[in-house]
Structure 1
Amino acid sequence: MADRYDIRLPAIRIRQGSHFIYCFGVDGKRIHDFAAVSRVHRDDDSLQGYQRPEVLTHIKAIRRYLESPDAMLPNAVVLAFDQRVTFETAPLESALDYVATGELVIPVDERLAEEDRAAWLVDGQQRSAAIRDADVAEFPVAAVGFIAKDEAEQRSQFILVNNTKPLPKGLIHELLPDSIGHLPPAYARKQLPAEIMIKLNSGPRNWVGHPFAGRIATPTQPNGYIKDNSVLKMIENSLSDGALYRFRREDGAGDVQGIIEHLNLFWTTVVEVFYEAWELEPRKSRLTHGVGIQSMGYVMDQLTEDHDLVAEGTHDLATALWGLRDHCAWTAGTWRMSETDHRRWNSLQNTPNDIKLLTSHLLRKLRK
């Protein structure tokens, strides 16, 4: 077989508004000839890919089923094609103006690396892997494809296709900043906070100026020890009605650089005051725990809401935070919430009640 050739598949083109989708059948054994399974990773702080890692136990279970008599996979796999893929309309006209029949022409170049193939697998990763590995000569499957303008559109479709499935939240948070087009409202609201979190997590792992860099646990930073959702909530709360609110714009976007500078200056000062607690994972430190991240976010709002840290510096902020040291039990000792309410240092949990309790305690001490 030649290194370069075309796969021509009979297909139905369906118009949906200004978009087209293509329904066709294909031997599942051949999907990996022209489609890449792109696993999310970062390259020089740029997000690459969008697919979740393969689940080996799930693949093995599907493979065993495929090798059994009368196996059937009725669910279609979803493929995102790039502009190299074309559709040639058949001469026969359809009775429906939004439907056309023809052939989907998919170029294959066996010399290309996987990531340079003409299609990316948006949904059906485990099924296609199981078919590839199964001891069967062929296994035709139903497929639905669309031709995307760019990778950002592919990411958006990946999120939408998986919106009703248990897609890992961490993967969604990684994908949102680079997605375009209409997204569900809950995801659209998280785009700006997710972009900020990803930028906080990038850069040199040096707490001076980059306190969060490499420390937030995400699919591309699996060695991070601070939960991404804790940082996201801290950012969301402040953008809603705290110190970061002034950086927002009416269209839902914001001054990302200004927000990053403000957060890095505040949290660098936090680390200066509570360095030992910052270097420990959440089970050993309540500062890096969800309850600490969110409560200190409210402290940031209280201390910096009307201050430009870039212009004014952090001397007064540092003075205020040093005043909190004797009232914090991040890694040992007892939280003295009141004369009668004493809590063991690690008894505080990432719950609304405990976050409110710790926030009230810290703000009360600041006012004194």
Structure 2
Amino acid sequence: MANKRDLRLPALQVKQGPKRMLYIFSVDGKLVHRFATISRVRRDEEGALRGYQRPEVLSHIDEIRRFIEGPNPMIPNAVVLAFNSSVHFEPGASEFHPESHSRPGTLSVPFEEEMLDEDKPAFVVDGQQRLAAVRDSNVDSFPLSVVAFITDDVSEQTDQFILVNSTKPLAKGLVYELLPNTESRLPTNLLKKRFPSQLLTILNAKRHSPFRGLIQTPTNPGGIIKDNSILRMLENSLNEGALYRFRSKNGEGGGVDAMITVLCAYWGAVSDVFPEAWGKQPTKSRLMHGAGILSMGLLMDAIADRYRNRIHLKRDLFAHDLLPLKSLCRWTDGFWDLGVGQKVKWNEIENTSSDIRQLSTYLLDKYKELVWDANPVSERRARGG
């Protein structure tokens, strides 16, 4: 193994706000992979999320590589790296320039020819495709501009990865799966997704969850239910349904354990009442389809509202209220009888606003007719366990 040494890079230290420091420098792109690694998004054995980067896009890398090997290449946008605290900046001036808020100096980066990924002092936050193209290109060297920050906090690296990539075509599923691991103040549209994404992650990993392993995410590509369907169901319930009562005052969180208990109880009851439709591909069961998940999610909220004075909403209670609807549901075969002249084949229900609205209205109307109105809940019974 080659001896360790420090890679010393002339750099500018830029002060952002009272505490934030950025480091701007250039380095041969062919060297970067020797001291920087990609923090690949994955799940560990306990189901916890690790990393934050998407896989390499080979066609995009090849396109950049051909450009670099061309007659007059230029890549003006900077790569973003996160250094750990083994990297140090040695200022060449004691004061920051008052107008540029920067001062020159030298970054000292631990470096050796063959470093294991876990020993490398840098993670790529943005620019992995460019770096891969430079690495694979048939040129002796290709300097790149780099902007870096120093932190040992993985959540801060994840925050920056999401913020840097939020205006680029980053897969929504990857953003949603990363959100629960962030802590900073994100844009409003992402903040609204962070708490539902946390619930989704728990439902997909919890040992006794009816959804365990069934939700399709970047780290669980074999799942059968689209993550966005589950997120929309959760958002509906958090806004004005069964989960609303457990929300915090600011609306950005709430009683996670209580919410998961209700969700597992209800969807466990759904799997009990419709076992022939549960756990199948959406092409084989519309219960696992976006329309089914969203419609049944609204039914969960209706049942919870019926028992709004009950302290605990248990699995058998949900199953009791779902059973009268079993003979009316056509999740895997037959025709939905949605009203006068409205017979729809089971697999013609689509994940569209109109189909979801039609199916939801039908199920809610039948629930009101067959259960709510037929069996009123007394105050005394409602307050029972």
Report the CA distance between 1:308 and its aligned residue.
8.2
Which residue of structure 2 aligns with residue 348 of structure 1?
A: 349
Which residue of structure 1 aligns with residue 73 of structure 2?
A: 71
Task: State the distance in 1 between where 2:206 and 2:146 align.
Answer: 40
Which residue of structure 1 aligns with residue 329 of structure 2?
A: 328
Write out aligned runs for 1:5-16 (5 A). 5-16=5-16
Task: State the distance in 2 between where 1:38 and 1:27 align.
Answer: 21
Unaligned runs of 5+ in 1: none
Task: State the distance in 2 between where 1:276 and 1:77 align.
Answer: 51
The answer to which of 62-71 and 138-147 deviates more is 62-71
Alignment check: 8 A CA contact 1:265 1:309 kept: no
Task: State the distance in 2 between where 1:94 and 1:353 align.
Answer: 60
Which residue of structure 2 aligns with residue 124 of structure 1?
A: 127
| Letter in structure 2 aligned against 1:295 | S
> Does the alignment pair 1:37 with 2:38?
yes
The answer to which of 149-158 and 82-91 deviates more is 82-91
Aligned with 1:122: secondary structure?
strand
* CA separation of 1:247 and 1:312: change in aligned 2, threshold 3 A: closer
Which residue of structure 2 aligns with residue 293 of structure 1?
A: 293
C-alpha offsets along residues 126-184 of structure 1, whole Å, 9 cap, x if unaligned?
11011111111111001111112400000000000011101101100111001011100
The answer to which of 345-354 and 31-40 deviates more is 345-354
Task: State the distance in 2 between where 1:61 and 1:337 align.
Answer: 52
Task: State the distance in 2 between where 1:50 and 1:249 align.
Answer: 28
- The TM-score, its normalising length taken from structure 2, stands at 0.91
| Letter in structure 2 aligned against 1:329 | R
Which residue of structure 2 aligns with residue 91 of structure 1?
A: 93
Percent identical across equivalent pairs?
47
* CA separation of 1:54 and 1:63: change in aligned 2, threshold 3 A: same
Task: State the distance in 1 between where 2:178 and 2:347 align.
Answer: 33
| Letter in structure 2 aligned against 1:42 | R
| Letter in structure 2 aligned against 1:30 | L
Report the CA distance between 1:3 and its aligned residue.
3.4
Task: State the distance in 2 between where 1:312 and 1:231 align.
Answer: 20
* CA separation of 1:315 and 1:111: change in aligned 2, threshold 3 A: same
> Does the alignment pair 1:52 with 2:54?
yes
Shift >4 Å, 4+ stretches: 109-112, 307-310
Write out aligned runs for 1:216-365 (5 A). 216-251=215-250, 252-305=252-305, 306-307=307-308, 311=312, 313-365=314-366
Report the CA distance between 1:334 and its aligned residue.
0.6
Unaligned runs of 5+ in 2: 370-385
Alignment check: 8 A CA contact 1:159 1:172 kept: yes
Alignment check: 8 A CA contact 1:38 1:115 kept: no
Report the CA distance between 1:315 and its aligned residue.
2.7
Aligned with 2:90: secondary structure?
strand
Report the CA distance between 1:314 and its aligned residue.
2.9
* CA separation of 1:261 and 1:113: change in aligned 2, threshold 3 A: farther
Aligned with 1:323: secondary structure?
helix
Instruction: Calculate the aligned-residue CA RMSD, in Å.
Output: 1.7
Alignment check: 8 A CA contact 2:214 2:279 kept: no
| Letter in structure 2 aligned against 1:311 | H
Aligned with 1:322: secondary structure?
helix
| Letter in structure 1 aligned against 2:276 | E
| Letter in structure 2 aligned against 1:105 | S
Task: State the distance in 2 between where 1:135 and 1:49 align.
Answer: 30
> Does the alignment pair 1:200 with 2:199?
no
Task: State the distance in 2 between where 1:3 and 1:244 align.
Answer: 58
Report the CA distance between 1:278 and its aligned residue.
1.2
> Does the alignment pair 1:61 with 2:60?
no
Alignment check: 8 A CA contact 2:27 2:146 kept: yes
Alignment check: 8 A CA contact 1:262 1:310 kept: no
* CA separation of 1:302 and 1:30: change in aligned 2, threshold 3 A: same
Task: State the distance in 1 between where 2:73 and 2:97 align.
Answer: 34
Q: 1:165 aligns with which of 160, 163, 168?
A: 168
* CA separation of 1:309 and 1:332: change in aligned 2, threshold 3 A: farther
Report the CA distance between 1:2 and its aligned residue.
3.4
* CA separation of 1:12 and 1:294: change in aligned 2, threshold 3 A: same
| Corresponding residue pairs, total | 364
Q: 1:144 aligns with which of 140, 147, 164?
A: 147
- The TM-score, its normalising length taken from structure 1, stands at 0.95
Alignment check: 8 A CA contact 2:38 2:128 kept: yes
